[in-house]
Amino acid sequence: MAMPANNAAAACGDHRADSSEEGYLTIRNIKLQRLPHLTDYLPSLETYPNPVDNNPFFHPVSEFYINPSDVVLRQILSDGFLSPGPHLAYHRAGPRKRIYFEPRGVRAAIVTCGGLCPGMNTVIRELVVGLWELYEVREIFGVRAGYRGFYSGEAVELNPKMVHGWHRKGGTVLETSRGGFDLDKIVNAIQDRGFNQVYIIGGDGTMRGMVEIFNEIKRRNLNIAVAGIPKTVDNDVGIIDRSFGFQTAVEMAQQAISAAHTEAESAVNGIGLVKLMGRSTGHIALHATLSSRDVDCCLIPENDFYLEGRGGLFEFLENRLKDNGHAVVVVAEGAGQDIIPKTDQSHVEEKDESGNPVFLDVGGWLKSELKNWWAMDHPKELFTVKYIDPTYMIRAVPANATDNLYCTLLAHSAIHGAMAGYTGFVCGPINGNYAYIPVEEVAHAKNVVNTRDHKWAWVRSITNQPDFGRG
Ligand SMILES: Nc1ncnc2c1ncn2[C@@H]1O[C@H](COP(=O)(O)OP(=O)(O)O)[C@@H](O)[C@H]1O
Ligand SMILES: O=P(O)(O)OC[C@H]1O[C@](O)(COP(=O)(O)O)[C@@H](O)[C@@H]1O
Ligand SMILES: [Mg+2]
């Protein structure tokens, strides 16, 4: 008998559900975020036993399966007096006892979109291996080169043998691209090719596209589950703890900082300047600064800065050079965009194919400003700026061990969710536990550095950098 898997009220017994505000279900002190499910618009879908039941490697015990009423709390820190509840929660990720797809009837498609990020190949590999080994799915396809690949070419058939060593490679074997989002063509192609599970690996832009795909599939009443796996080297996707590949990128960034430090230390009045990725968020710069300890000043898009006068960057560096003889500055690519003088050409904001702003080169500009400043103020003293821009080197690498494990759990969570009939969802860790989150929410939740919290205070206590008038 089919149990409406999404309906936590039914799962918990209706008497325990206190109210059902739109988008949420309040059960006692928990406000559970509603998760889209195929039965929302196809109410009479059949269910099947989970094939993991018969898998000789799992021997599932009763605790193995996740109940529809198992939740992950959004906030684990709260003031008991100020926030007595109800507390926002999401459905917990993991295998369900009954599933909504007959495994041999599944035709899965996997696509990667947007910029590279360490671990993309691991996610693809684990989707293929997980679908094959856990659920006995035999029709798995890789869509080539991003969203446009749905309608512009044939998908590649994948199996565990083919993807065996992919976790050791950087980039994405399926290839990726920006732009090329054509809703009708994409959904027509999904329908024509008979895909009934679509796994989308991408960042904030990709997730906004996924919302449209999911809504269109729903509008057409199609029995197709759409699952998202958030990918962003910038760590700018909200709600989840962090994105996969981010830690690997921070590790790579540290190598650039370490080289800048060596160069600066070995020169008279040496400045090591490192520009790091981070389109409009400074997470990579911040984490690389905190973990390296060699950084004297960290400039991020969330915190405006200025060069001249009291409390400015030049004054700070002057003191640092006097005290230490060298200094290291880390700047995120999106920082300082408002103070870089614009030429007539650069006045027109450039955009990439996906509509993301293309930034002016803050590193190159800062390097020349530093040289001009020193030449003006100390014409007779030696001075060196060594500028390092590792750009793609921090993201075009295989994932480290932690990220590889993380990618595996993400892929398996996505599979379990789609098999359970959930759709229009993204999976990710919240406070260390894997959850399913409606894609609509993830697509609009940006994760920026909070310069008012402890982490930023920690950066300032390590660097002693100025607050640039925010004090
Ligand atoms: N608002 C949007 N609606 C639909 N598709 C979008 C939207 N923004 C981006 N996309 C598509 O998502 C894909 C990846 O977007 P992009 O911003 O380049 O990377 P990321 O997803 O990593 O942020 C591209 O194919 C792009 O056309
Ligand atoms: O040159 P590309 O491939 O467009 O990528 C550059 C951008 O990609 C990023 O790594 C972010 O990419 P996503 O938005 O795809 O995650 C930024 O840090 C950087 O500005
Ligand atoms: Mg993005």
User: What are the tens digits of pLDDT across the range 236-295?
Assistant: 999 999 999 999 999 999 999 999 999 999 999 999 999 999 988 999 999 999 999 999
Task: State yes or no: pLDDT of 7 exceeds 60.
Answer: no
User: What are the tens digits of pLDDT across the range 138-165?
Assistant: 999 999 999 999 999 999 999 999 999 9
**Distance separating alpha carbons of residues 247 and 243, to the nearest angstrom:** 9
Cβ of residue 234 lying under 6 Å from some atom of ligand 1: no
Q: What is the pLDDT of residue 165?
A: 96
Task: State yes or no: pLDDT of 344 exceeds 70.
Answer: no
Residues ≥6 apart with Cβ < 8 Å to 238: 442, 444, 445, 446, 447
Closest CA to 178 of 208, 158, 218: 208
Q: What is the pLDDT of residue 471?
A: 58
Active-site residue, selected from the candidate residues 14, 192, 234, 304? 234
Fold classified for 246-397 = Rossmann fold (3.40.50)
H or E segment and range at residue 420: none
Closest CA to 303 of 328, 282, 279, 327: 282
Cβ of residue 277 lying under 6 Å from some atom of ligand 2: yes
Q: What is the CATH number of domain 102-241+439-444?
A: 3.40.50.450
**Distance separating alpha carbons of residues 228 and 110, to the nearest angstrom:** 10
Q: What is the mean pLDDT of residues 114-139?
A: 97
**Atom of ligand 1 lying closest to residue 352 CA:** 18
User: What are the tens digits of pLDDT across the range 159-205?
Assistant: 999 999 999 999 999 999 999 999 999 999 999 999 999 999 999 99
How confident is residue 346, by pLDDT bands cut at 50, 70 and 90?
A: low
- Enter the ipTM: 0.99
How confident is residue 10, by pLDDT bands cut at 50, 70 and 90?
A: very low
CATH 3.40.50.460 domain extents, the chain: 246-397
Task: State yes or no: pLDDT of 28 exceeds 70.
Answer: yes
Cβ of residue 114 lying under 6 Å from some atom of ligand 2: yes
- Check: CB of residue 152 under 8 Å from CB of residue 245: no
pTM here is: 0.94
Distance 279 CA to ligand 2 centre (A): 7
Mean pLDDT computed over every residue of the chain: 92
Task: State yes or no: pLDDT of 90 exceeds 90.
Answer: yes
* Higher-scoring residue by pLDDT: 11, 364: 364
- Check the annotation: does 242 bind a ligand: no
**Atom of ligand 1 lying closest to residue 148 CA:** 25
Whether 14 sits among the annotated catalytic residues: the reply is no
How confident is residue 25, by pLDDT bands cut at 50, 70 and 90?
A: confident
CATH 3.40.50.450 domain extents, the chain: 102-241+439-444
Cβ of residue 171 lying under 6 Å from some atom of ligand 2: no
Distance 209 CA to ligand 1 centre (A): 6
Q: What is the DSSP string of 131-146?
A: HHHHH---EEEEEPSS
